[in-house]
């Protein structure tokens, strides 16, 4: 097939992370409460010592900087948990520490996640003064009843007030919504999405509700107590409606769940999806690094107290695995096929490419994949069922 190429080995020598970029992810693990659908590493704590967390974060940044050496840092992302509960001094210390280890790109994107209920104008000014230039608001729904069902502590009015504060403080603001919720009709989602688009956002993250193992929703679903979830046909109609309305509003999908104009795409998330490198710091943070031509996966302790103790002792990592070329390529495909632009074919090893060529023929014929201009892409229909496409393409390892 035309997308197969033996050029992957040359791409390795060029270290492909340089094309996708280098970023820093910092995990703040604390929330005011645990949402029933959330499977992220988040915890409720009565007491947090910001100075202790500053020391731990900065030590980890220095340790990673010593190992990785000089690079251009394209993005910093404060995720959680609820990073908008952080004291601005913590945010500023992290950014300063990163700037002392790596050169910051002229257009560096520094994003902080925020929950509407924790938004305060003064704190947002502090984040801006510390260097944050983009905020991602976890609005999740524009319906008070559904916000309550999702376990959110804020109301629609809180969310709209937070959006106003964020826009006054930052040039770039994104917000999230969850659809395919319990008892949500198609017409209801259309009204909600049209209302969201009426605020003229530059970026929207629109996620279908998924029921994850280990969450409160997962336990309720397993016990047959989570009624009103949409069937596959309704969920598919919601997905298609989402693509239509966002594209018409000038926010086309660039990834399965993310919508923006070209200039407003999340640079940090593109590092993940395009096979770049990033340092993962904080409890439960994952990282990917290219060191001496090898792709390395890193992990950290999930429990905040354990990570804090390890980081202050000198190393917050709990696991480091060198990925073999085939595993790195599988990961690249799994992440990159989420993008409308798809993946570069010269990043697929020759032997793996030969195997994929046989598996992909039916997917191309079925209209789920397409190949052109040196790239392999999932079609719009293919992105709707991407998990099934990946299982067919890569086998059970895609799960």
pLDDT tens digits for the chain (399 residues)? Answer: 334 343 433 343 345 567 889 999 999 998 766 565 555 556 666 678 999 999 999 999 999 999 999 999 999 999 988 899 899 999 999 999 999 999 999 999 999 999 898 788 788 999 999 999 999 999 999 999 999 988 888 899 999 999 999 999 999 999 999 999 999 999 999 999 999 999 999 999 999 988 777 777 778 777 877 777 889 999 999 999 999 999 999 999 999 999 999 999 999 999 999 999 999 999 999 999 999 989 999 999 999 999 999 999 999 999 999 998 888 888 989 999 999 999 887 777 665 666 677 778 889 889 999 988 888 899 999 999 999 999 988 875 565
- pTM of this structure: 0.91
Per CATH, domain 17-272 is 3.20.20.70 = yes
Residue 313 exposed, middle or buried by CB count within 10 Å (0-12, 13-18, 19+): exposed
**Closest to 134 measured CA to CA, from 161, 112, 104, 106:** 112
Number of other residues whose CB lies within 10 A of the CB of residue 202: 17
Write down the residue that tokens 């999405």 correspond to: 193
Closest by Cα among 379, 104, 133 to 256? 379
Range(s) within the chain of domains with CATH label 1.10.10.920: 325-399
Q: Identify whether the C-beta of residue 160 lies closer than 8 Å to the C-beta of residue 188.
A: no
Place of tokens 């200039």: 263
CATH class of 325-399: mainly alpha
Q: If you average pLDDT over every residue of the chain, what do you get?
A: 88
Residue limits of CATH 3.20.20.70 in the chain: 17-272
pLDDT value of residue 258: 98
Of residues 331, 320, 262, 317, the one with CA closest to residue 284: 317
Q: What is the pLDDT of residues 209-239, one digit of tens each?
A: 887 777 777 787 778 777 778 899 999 999 9
Kindly report the backbone phi and psi dihedral angles of residue 28, in degrees, each rounded to the nearest multiple of 5, phi listed first.
-105, 115
């Amino acid at each position: 097939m035309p997308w197969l190429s033996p050029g992957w080995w040359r791409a390795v020598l060029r270290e492909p992370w340089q094309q996708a970029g280098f970023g820093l992810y910092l995990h703040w693990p604390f929330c005011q409460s645990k949402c029933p659908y959330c499977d992220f590493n988040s915890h409720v704590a009565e007491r947090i010592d910001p100075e202790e967390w500053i020391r731990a974060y900065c030590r980890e940044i220095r340790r990673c900087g010593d190992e990785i050496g000089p690079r251009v840092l394209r993005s910093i992302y404060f995720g959680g948990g609820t990073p908008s509960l952080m004291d601005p001094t913590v945010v500023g210390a992290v950014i300063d520490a990163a700037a002392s280890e790596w050169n910051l790109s002229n257009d560096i994107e520094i994003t902080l996640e925020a929950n509407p209920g924790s938004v305060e104008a003064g704190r947002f000014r502090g984040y801006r003064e510390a260097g944050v230039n983009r905020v991602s608001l976890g609005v999740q729904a524009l319906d008070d009843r559904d916000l309550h069902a999702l376990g959110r502590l804020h109301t629609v009015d809180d969310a709209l007030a937070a959006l106003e504060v964020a826009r006054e403080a930052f040039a770039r603001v994104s917000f999230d919504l969850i659809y395919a919720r319990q008892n949500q009709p198609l017409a209801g989602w259309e009204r909600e999405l049209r209302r969201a688009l009426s605020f003229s956002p530059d970026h929207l993250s629109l996620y279908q509700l998924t029921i994850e193992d280990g969450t409160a929703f997962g336990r309720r679903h397993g016990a047959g107590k989570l009624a009103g979830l949409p069937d596959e046909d309704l969920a598919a109609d919601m997905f298609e409606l989402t693509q239509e309305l966002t594209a018409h509003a000038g926010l086309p999908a660039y990834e399965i769940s993310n919508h923006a104009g070209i200039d407003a795409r999340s640079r940090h998330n593109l590092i993940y999806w395009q096979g770049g490198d990033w340092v993962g710091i904080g409890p439960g943070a994952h990282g990917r690094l290219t060191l001496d031509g090898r792709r390395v996966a890193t992990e950290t302790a999930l429990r905040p107290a354990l990570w804090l103790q390890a980081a202050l002792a000198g190393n917050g990592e709990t696991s480091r695995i060198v990925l073999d070329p085939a595993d790195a390529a599988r990961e690249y495909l799994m992440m990159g096929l989420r993008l409308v632009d798809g993946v570069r074919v010269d990043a697929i090893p020759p032997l793996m490419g030969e195997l994929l060529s046989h598996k992909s023929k039916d997917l191309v014929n079925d209209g789920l994949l397409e190949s052109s201009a040196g790239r392999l892409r999932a079609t719009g229909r293919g992105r709707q069922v991407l998990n099934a496409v990946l299982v067919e393409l890569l086998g059970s390892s895609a799960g």
